[in-house]
Structure 1
Amino acid sequence: MMKNENSKAPLTPPNYEPNRHPDYQDDEIDLRELFGIIWQGKWWIIAITFVFAVGSVIYSLSLPNIYRSEATLAPTEEASGGGLSQMAGQLGGLASLAGVNLGGKNADKTTIALEILKSRAFIKGFVEKYDILPELMAVEEWNRGSGIVFNNEVYDPDMNEWVREVEPPKQSAPSSWEYVRVFRDQVLEVSKDDATGLVTVAVNHQSPEVAQRWVGWLIEEINSHMRERDIREAKRSLEYLDKELQSTSLSDMQQMFYQLIEKQTQTIMLANVRPEYIFQTLDPAVVPEQKAKPSRAIISIIGTFLGGLLSIGFVLSRSMFSKNKMLNSLNFNGSK
């Protein structure tokens, strides 16, 4: 007798669900429960976010305004490899035989000048020459009416004396190690556009007048430094060439020495008549009318946002800690 196939019981119940791992439901994120925890801790979130918002506003207001003045420079013909540098390339082989270095097209004076501009020796000499250490290390703020306001806990402008309290081996007056680092990191900005070769020199300072003044001084000093450097090298070369010229009787060698002497003489002549020896100013620095930083609105927004995230994390951590504490208590009571 054949059994009715429809009478067979199904192998699996219609509402059958595979057995889940015991911890599966614990791993699920219940958004409703999450929002419930956040809603229960809303006053904590509001309070912590408010504290961070107020703190970020107070911090942003405590920061002094920083003004940025900049100038756009272009390398001169000599610095970029033209003019006398082309002649140096033609005579470079002969000059090397005579022991004279004339540079040439491969001698990038622009790069050398920019590295010197950022060097410790140049910055130290710049600060000492113009006596700008108080304006660099002791300015608290700048007002349009009264001008620079010094920090009296650091520097006494009436007595021209440093009064800051420091621990040995530091001294009251900032050392070159300190102010050169501040000048490099916070004041001076130097950049070069590789596509156009143009150079930007900028100064950041609390005083817009000081920022504009220092940019002009820096350009003047680096041009003067490079001019004096080339003049010294040219004079040393002339002394050497004169000695060699007197000691040789070969007409070819004498002709070569005459050409080299002419080159060095032209270098000295052009260096003395060109105020802008390495860099010529295309766009001079002006006194800025608007601050460059800080952006107080962005600081306040970031501080408020950070406070909101930390407050939510605090509320969730607090709820999780309370839940774990309750479960541990129940387990302890059940084990008795």
Structure 2
Amino acid sequence: MIKKLTATVFALAMAFPAIADVLTIKKDAPQQYVVKKGDTLWDISEIYLEQPWLWPKLWRMNPQIDNPHLIYPGDMLTLVYDADGQPMLVMNQKYKKLSPNVRKTLKKADAIPTVPLEFLRPYLTYEQALDEEVIATKPYVLGANQAVKNQISDQILYVKGDLERSQFYGIYRKGDAYIDPESETVLAHKAKLVGTARAFRSGDVHKGEPASVRVQNVKQEIKAGDFLMPAMEGQSLPAFFSLTRPEAGIKGSIIAATNDFREFSQYDIVILNRGTADQLKPGHILDIRRASPKVIDGKNGPTYLEDTSRYEKVAASIEGLFGESNQDQKLWVTPSEKVGELMVFKVYNNLSYAIIMETLMPIRLGDTVNVDL
């Protein structure tokens, strides 16, 4: 299988100069290519392009492929050039993959299951999850060249720390801690992007000389104490995601969301208390499940636990704790049911970010995510 590369997310696109949209075809690129099982658009683009991250231009110019994210093993792609000399890949409709004894008919289920990064881009907030110890090592804003509270574009900020001249930086604010509901330990702290800047003085901490940056964009008021990171640091994502189920069983919880709400809908971004330590990877699909209401079956008939009296709850709890048989009060723990699906796209050691792909009802804080093998 062709080696897969990682495309850098142009997370701070407004602050960066545009990359030229010139497609350079490799000298050894084949005139035709037959799609193999396991291929992806990025893989194939890497065969043809010197800059494979420009793959959308190579594919989206193709009028013969309604959905370029559905390609099939056995399809033949041909490299052609348009009237302006721009390369594009087209489907060879005349080509049929045949064997001496078998003619294979491919069904929709055989399509290579991928989600392009471009699909996620409108929903990304570029938030990160960082350890407090890591945040403490970052350069941070001391003040500005004007004593104003609201920093604007082109304003100069002074930074404690050594920066690289001409380097673009993201300016972040330390937010709330992400708490694991099971262990009650701090998993990481929210790092919210509030602006971008370019350094023009490197600074020297040992000499007491601050670095200087010029603000490029402001998403939110920049304050003294906000810290800086190179713009691309922590913002790398795959060019597209191969959708798979985890190889190992996993169970976790939705512990937060980038919108700070408690109820979420399709395409909202949520944070899970599971990460690489639990073998999670970008592209993993997890079920979202919700516990059904518990029921107490008492002398007056079945009643939801939340609607029962304090006495009935205590009686039912005693039975659950000590295994005592109580014919008048019995607590029934009902199964959890699937309420949606999500896709993991950014993974840290002990937490991850995921986008809700499908909902059967509104998703809530505390809903569980799992895959049972």
Identify the structure with the greater helix proportion: 1
Shared fold by TM > 0.5? no
Q: Name the TM-score, length of structure 1 as normaliser.
A: 0.22
Q: TM-score, normalised by structure 2?
A: 0.20
Larger Rg: 1
